[in-house]
Amino acid sequence: MKVLFTLSGALLFSSLIARAEVKAVGATDRQYVDVQAYVQKLAKDYPKNVSLFTLGTGDSGQPITAMKIGNGMIHHLLVSTHHGNEYGSTEVALAFAEDLAKNPIANQTIYVIPVLNIGGYDARTREETDSRGVIDDPNRNYPGPCGTEGPFTLKSTKALADFIDQERIVASATMHTFYPAVVYPWGISTQDLTTPYLPEFTKMVNDATLESHYQVGNSTEVIYAANGAFEDWAYWKHGIWSILFEVGTTHTPSESQISDMVNTNVPGLRRMFTNAPTEPSVKHDFTGRCDTLMARMRDRHDE
């Protein structure tokens, strides 16, 4: 884990924060510098509970800032904004981080990455441009049992994978918009969608949706098949109890819609992590057969 600030870096960062705080920034207008200011304030206000670190440097050239919240032995992870245009998911992640900062979950440490795709977030575009100048979808950039569009052509996804390799993450939540659902693996292109852990996954998504009443279930059945997504890679490679949140009903929520997304998802996230398994899953190999034609299904919402 790398330290976020050198002295010169801290001075530059402070000046950026000062500019960001000249006026209040609405959630719909927030840029990455404003996100950094937000999390820096959390670390300042709750120093016993929150520390910052750099996950790595993205292809935009900016540091991917992450938060470590709490000091428990069980480590969980929340990652938002694989897709840069899904700024509503960023706001839910920031609100959840603040909720944890004020009141960490007992015996848990939760890592929160509010923006993984920095370049896409600032431009409000879904994809991220890699070092070759190629436009990639970050949430198709992971290895998987049924293929991928990567893997790891982006610095952001590689940095996240390297971090997970060195941390014992038990459960994860990834935040997206805009088809209201909370789902579990498998989400790959296969007809063989079952895992040995249907009761555990069902409990997690039910815990997450008591307030939102979002649709729950298997990712492929509820949304669509997508090879190379983080959620399936995390479960398949590491046994992580990985849950995908699609929050809200639009990629361009208003301030009031964002408020509703926060109010209906933050309590569910807290409950889900509080009650999540305390050990990674053991039987997480994929034993089914891939169906490449299913990867073309996009009948629920856009990619």
**C-alpha dist (Å) from residue 131 to 16, 68, 121, 134, 155:** 25, 28, 17, 7, 8
Q: Is the pLDDT of residue 21 over 50?
A: no
| Model confidence at 18: pLDDT above 50 | no
Q: 171 phi and psi, to 5 degrees?
A: -130, 155
Residue 2 domain-assigned (yes or no): no
DSSP for 168-204 reads: -EEEEEEEE-SS-EEEES--SSBS----TTHHHHHHH
Which residue intervals of 21-175 are DSSP H helices? 32-45, 87-102, 118-123, 155-166
- Residue 2, pLDDT > 90, answer no
CA distances from 93 to 17, 88, 136 (A): 19, 9, 23
Question: In the prediction, which pLDDT does 28 show?
Answer: 87
Rounded mean pLDDT of 267-285? 98
Is the per-residue pLDDT at 1 higher than 70? no
Of the pLDDT bands very low, low, confident and very high (cuts 50, 70, 90), residue 294 is confident
In a domain, 302, yes or no: no
Q: 215, 246 in Cβ contact below 8 A?
A: no
Residue 270 within any structural domain of the chain? yes
Looking at per-residue pLDDT, the higher value among 147 and 244 belongs to: 244
Q: Quick one: pLDDT band at residue 295, thresholds 50, 70, 90?
A: low
- pTM confidence score: 0.90
**Structural domain boundaries, residue 255:** 7-296
At residue 14 the predicted structure's pLDDT band, cuts being 50, 70 and 90, is very low
CATH of the domain at 45: 3.40.630.10
* Strand-strand pairing, 241-246 and 181-184: antiparallel
75 in a structural domain: yes
Report if residue 303 sits inside a domain: no
From the centroid of its chain, how far is CA 240? 13
Total tally of structural domains belonging to the chain: 1
> Tens digits of per-residue pLDDT, 67-115?
999 999 999 999 999 999 999 999 999 999 999 999 999 999 999 999 9
3-state secondary structure of 77: strand
Residue bearing the bigger pLDDT, 187 or 301: 187
Q: What would the mean pLDDT of 251-271 be, rounded to a whole number?
A: 97
> In the predicted model, what is the mean pLDDT of residues 289-300?
69
Q: What is the mean pLDDT of the chain?
A: 90
The string of pLDDT tens digits covering residues 217-242 is 999 999 999 999 999 999 999 999 99
The β-bridge partners of 12 are: none
pLDDT at 123 over 60: yes
Domain assignment of residue 89, yes or no: yes
Listed in sequence order, the DSSP H helices in the chain are: 7-20, 32-45, 87-102, 118-123, 155-166, 198-208, 219-222, 230-238, 255-275
Per-residue pLDDT band for 5 (boundaries 50, 70, 90) equals very low
Does 1 fall in a domain?
no
Q: Are 280 and 77 in contact (CB under 8 A)?
A: no
